[in-house]
A and B are shown apart, each in its own frame.
Chain A
Amino acid sequence: MSAVTDQDHMNHIDRMDHMDHMDHMDRIEHGDHNGQEDSGPVGSADSVDHEGHSRPADRPGHSGEEDRVPEPEAPEASESHDSSASVESSAEPWESGESGESRGDGEASTTDATPENHAPSECDPEGDVQRDARVKAGDGGSGRMDHVIREDHADRTDHADRMDPGDRGGDEDQGGPADRGGHEDRTGRTDWADHPEAGPAWDDGLIARRVAEGAAGAEQAAAVNLAEPRLGEPRLGGPQPVTPPAYDGPLRSRLDALRELVGLSRARLDSRTLAEAGRVLDEATARRRLSGQHTVVAIAGATGSGKSQLFNALAGVTLSETGVRRPTTAAPIACSWSDGAAPLIDRLGIPPRLRRRPAQHADADGLLRGLVLVDLPDLDSAAVQHREQAERVLALVDAVVWVVDPEKYADAVLHERYLRPMAGHAEIMFVVLNQIDRLPGEAAEQVLDDLRRLLDEDGIALGEYGEPGANVLALSALTGDGLAELREALGQFVAERGAPIRRISADLDAAAWRLRPLYATGRRTGLSEAARDEFSARLADAVGATAAGEAAERAWLRNANRACGTPWLRLWRWYQDRCEPSTGRLPVRTQADEEATARQRVEQAVRTVADRAATGLPAPWAQAVREAAVRGAQGLPEALDELAARTGLPPGRPPRPGWWPAAVLVQASMTILQIIGGLWLAGQIVGVMAPNLGVPVLLMVSGIVGGPLVEWSCRMAARGPARRYGMEAERRLREAAAGCGRARVLDPVAAELLRYREVREQYVRVIGAGAGAGAGVGGR
């Protein structure tokens, strides 16, 4: 069992490609090493050395491990290359600690050379873990050859090569010591950015403080990662017929609604906010293109919980390396129970080298037909890239088996960072309490109950009594206790073939929930009639409609009085005016003023109406409404100026009531009566006429009394028409101003509100009819 045999077995179809990429990686330093490796058995002295070191040290642990595995080595003759290779390689233990140490030291010395701060040295343990777990290409090519874990790592780099730049960048971070600080920081915040509710709880000082440093960069990186779901090249897709999962009516319409929602919102919301929704859509599309006959189930959990053990136990052969060295598994490994799953696995970015088949006897009953099991790296070790890989795959699989063990089942990392944010995905979750063989007697039951309690506190619905929810099981992958139940549950789950749809649906729920503050409001929104009226009234104030009306009314009244007044009074007034031209009589200006409209009132009116309209709207939409109002208000004062000048007074001469000539006539006749009476009296005094005192005095008195009487009654009578005239003037201004305001401000605002309402309806559709009522967005 040498490096060479391993290599040979590993040399399946992807080999060329793989080596190409390794070449690419290695050529910088170890170009010739590569050549040797390719050619086969020319294992360098190094590799022999390594084996010499590692064997004795590893033996005890390894043999213990072998004892535990029920069927340690059962390679079927008909097994594929993958399977046998992995079996053999499993006999080949992990890399020795010493070699890791020595290499690490070399690396550490280079790190120490950077003098700025001691951040690099702080990060060293992680670097060490990384180096132990995943061999760097630069560590000497031969080392990689004899250990399957190294092979895995090479795969990983190879895989990284093929990945998009975002992922690649993450990998390369580890190389440069200068980047270490930032890289280490990526540990936590990456997902907190996605799950804000989990964030603050973990920012507690001494323990987790370091995690949060420089989170911004990591967030962005994460955003990039999330925003670009990858599709592996369907190289191995083959000609197999693909039956995509049938998205049933509601889900499809919800997805369509979300797509439309994103489209409608693009102009209003920034793209980062919509990235998550876009990701869900892309994933849904991508998953839909692929096989619906298969269910991709990932095994996730903390380091040392026995994920790989469970994986192997389900597969019936040792496909994934297990061990005591933490963390063990560095790259995801897939195992497919039936054919045609290659495109699905491509999507997960798992290279063909890491694809396995289960042992035949394990699949004898065909119970798990259609299952694609993925063994993930750990989620909580100091090796950050493990977590990144695991999270990347977790976002793409159809279902998850969370493996916990009695020691770690209450870890904050697992619950706060993963289970709580994924509480909505309960239906596609299995929670497995592994290693119950380590618990005495009834303690297993106790722990399981406690685990159920914790899950319940996390908000995860438990699938008890036939209700939909997470399946919680206790088992021991080592002794096989309880494994049958898991197989059965998994088999049933896979046979239903509902997982992809449920996954998408849960993703959709989560995305919709996260978008909720952007779309939903608890209050009624819209511009009330009262607010519109108030706006019009304020505009009317701004152009001075009331004052204009009053002024018109009084002017009309004044003119009427003058027209119907007694001539004597007019004469007296005229005389007074002539005597003191300065008293109060200012020349009446008729020219139009510039800026006749009160700018501040228009501004205030627009602001108020925009505020009213924006009340209760989610922030981006409120902003849009305000902007619409402000945009509309530009030029509004000028328009009002012009309008006020144009429609200040009713056109033409002020209307005169029909009785006016009569009144003037009566007034004139009164004056004539006075004059006649006066003349008559004068004639009597002179003696021209017969002395008859009564009649002329009567005439004169009636003229003198009647004149003011007529004037007074005319004034009374003129009030009505004057009022009408003033009202008319006011109304004209008011209406013109309101019309102007409506066209320029209210209509755009209303359009914006309509747009929001449309989007909200779309959002309600995304939430789905059932959840819609609960979300309180208001019915359609």
Chain B
Amino acid sequence: MVTLDVRPQLLDALSALRDRVAAARFPLPLAGAPRARANRDELLAQLDDYLVPRLRQPEAPLLAVVGGSTGVGKSTLVNSLVGRRVSEAGVLRPTTRTPVLVCHPEDHHWFSGMRVLPDLTRVWVPQQDAGNEDLLLPGENPARVLRIETTETLPRGLALLDAPDVDSLVADNRVLAAELICAADIWVMVTTAARYADAVPWHLLRTAKEYQVTLITVLDRVPHQVVSEVSRQYGALLTKAGLGDVPRFTVPELPESAWGGGLLPATAVAPLRTWLVHQAQDPVARQHALARTAYGVLDSLKSRMPELASAAAAQYAAALRLTAAVDTAYDSEHARVRGRLQSGAVLAGDALKRWRAFPLDCTAGELLDALVESLADLLLCAVTAADERVDDAWRREPAADAPELAHHDTEPESAEHRIGLAVRRWRRELEEYAEEEVRALERSPASDPEMIAALVATALLGGRRARSAGEGLAERIGAHGALRLRDRGGRLLAEYLDRVIHTERERRLAPLDALDVHPETQAELIAALSVLQKER
């Protein structure tokens, strides 16, 4: 005999776990991500809607949720159990769009507040006929509304919830149905003679088995001629699924039942009603039903939390792969740029021609301009190439399809602009250095600072082929000064190079960082679970 005695520590651990689950995000579109997201939402909903409120208040009424495929007669069943038309039934599918909760008037306070199903707006239709959706506030999504009905015919301590279809054409309805079913103490799965082999409800039944919830099934709308046959076969299927001990109720197809939305005679649903009332009123049975579902869900955390955690780990791993791709691309381009700088690739093309013509047919300013432009080109080329490599690598990563990552704003113009700024700033600083050097020399009326700057730039950027620039420099400001100037300029160049590459890399990584995929999520989820396990 399991009872539902809950220590406050368990509740604390559970709310901690709930917060962890709520904080988990799966932004990267990996293969398992949609499912992880759905699992997370589902788990969160189940914790919020069911487990936490149930453990906090074990004395709250039992909630039996009636779920099933479209057209199996859930609403008719609920109406018949209650003995009054509380939920609209009809021939047009899907019929129930607004879930309806029925309870005894004195139980009303349990459900009118936000104790369970806090996401759903409550609609309270006093007493008249079955409410219609005109009563909804304008702009409210009818799917996210819970209508509460009270009736004296239902015993205290039992509430029935008529859920939307689990396989409705309206996707929102399906999600809502799953959420509502997860909030139940007793899952009432309804199917019909025509449907009992449908695939979708079986998935739900398997989930119920997995969570070890208190489950009953109703085989509805069975033509009386085939009652025994169909019911036996359904039973066989259930047994095969390991659900043989699940209480099974059969409701025959009656003329007044189905397609008009009438009420079934009380005798047709009497066994089901009796069972439910017994569960609600007999303290032992009630305790048992409650504890079974609650502990079932608690137990299911053991497998569901690691699942979430591994999804979180997969997210982090994917984010790492993406980051690594960016790092690799930029690092290798960085190395390439440095190599090319050393080999004097900047002193090529225009710059080389200028240098060849330098003292005679070309001014120092022009030479500097050409060198700076060439340097900017080299950097831009490296950045673009790195971006291209990143794109290439990301194309193979499913995680890179995230819309946030797709719209990275590296339009080349802006990169060009940024690089141009950096390079010009470098030039200005280099010129300042040159001026300082020139000023430091008392003699040398001939040394024009710009000329010195041009020579230093050439020597720095020209590699081997600009050896003569170094010589010229030494001649002008002395070997010592030339060495010092070259050192400072070289350090400055390296610094600017690093800065440019770093900035561009950060820009590229910014959207990924904004997704906020941490390695801690996994550990936190697992830790929360283990705390919970200890508290049980």
Contacts and interface: CB of A to CB of B under 8 A. Distances in A.
Interface of A: 57-58, 60-61, 63-64, 97-98, 100-101, 104, 108, 118, 121-122, 124-129, 132, 187, 200-201, 203-212, 216, 302-305, 324-327, 378, 380-384, 405-413, 415-416, 438-440, 443, 446-447, 450, 454, 541-544, 546-548, 550-551, 554-555, 558, 582-586, 588-589, 593, 595-601, 603-604, 607-608
A600 B345 contact: yes
B357 A555 contact: yes
A554 B366 CA distance: 13
Interface string B55-88: 0000000000000011110000000000000000
Contact of A415 (B169, B196, B343, B361): B169
A203 B38 contact: yes
B520 interface: no
Contacts of A608: 412
B91 interface: yes
Contacts of B171: 201, 204
Nearest to A449: B92
B42 interface: yes
Interface stretch (B128-136, B176-184, B510-518): B176-184
Interface of B: 31, 34-35, 38-39, 41-42, 69-72, 91-94, 166-169, 171, 174-175, 177-178, 181-182, 192-200, 202-207, 209-210, 221, 223, 225-226, 228-230, 232-233, 236-242, 258-260, 340, 343, 345-346, 348-354, 356-362, 370, 374, 377-378, 380-382, 384-385, 388, 412, 446, 465, 468, 472, 475
B91 A406 contact: yes
Given A416-B169, A603-B381, A604-B377, A551 B357 contact: yes
A440 B254 CA distance: 12
A124 B242 contact: yes
B203 A208 contact: yes
Contacts of B237: 125, 128-129
Best-buried of A129, A547, A589 by chain B (most CB within 10 Å) = A547
Given A325-B233, A378-B197, 8 more contacts: A98-B236, A206-B42, A326-B195, A326-B198, A412-B168, A597-B349, A598-B351, A603-B385
Contacts of B232: 57, 97-98
Nearest to A93: B229
B169 A601 contact: no
Contacts of A187: 199
B92 A206 contact: no
A206 B91 contact: no
Contacts of A127: 240
Contacts of B382: 600
Contact of A554 (B34, B360, B380): B360
A104 B35 CA distance: 32
A597 B348 contact: yes
B357 A554 contact: yes
Given A100-B236, A324-B230, A438-B258, A413 B199 contact: yes
Nearest to B174: A204
Contacts of B177: 207
Contacts of A585: 359
Contact of B225 (A64, A411, A551, A600): A64
A593 B468 CA distance: 14
A649 to B, nearest CB: 11
Contacts of A541: 349-350
21 contacts: A61-B230, A97-B233, A104-B240, A205-B35, A205-B38, A205-B42, A207-B174, A216-B31, A305-B194, A325-B229, A407-B194, A410-B168, A413-B199, A413-B200, A450-B93, A547-B352, A548-B353, A551-B356, A554-B360, A589-B356, A598-B350
A216 B223 CA distance: 41
Given A450-B93, A601-B349, A304 B236 contact: no
Best-buried of B72, B228, B259, B354 by chain A (most CB within 10 Å) = B259
A598 B354 CA distance: 13
Contacts of A589: 356
A543 B178 contact: no
Best-buried of A64, A412, A416, A601 by chain B (most CB within 10 Å) = A412
B41 A205 contact: yes
Contacts of B42: 205-206
A205 B174 CA distance: 9
A551 B361 contact: yes
A744 B145 CA distance: 67
A408 B199 contact: no
A443 B260 contact: yes
A378 B200 CA distance: 14
A422 to B, nearest CB: 16
Nearest to A324: B226
B35 A209 contact: yes
Contacts of B378: 600
Given A104-B236, A207-B167, A554 B359 contact: no
Nearest to B211: A206
B417 to A, nearest CB: 15
A124 B200 contact: no
Contact of A380 (B193, B199, B465): B199
Contact of B226 (A64, A303, A327, A440): A64
B197 A586 contact: no
Contact of A412 (B169, B221, B226): B169
A554 B197 contact: no
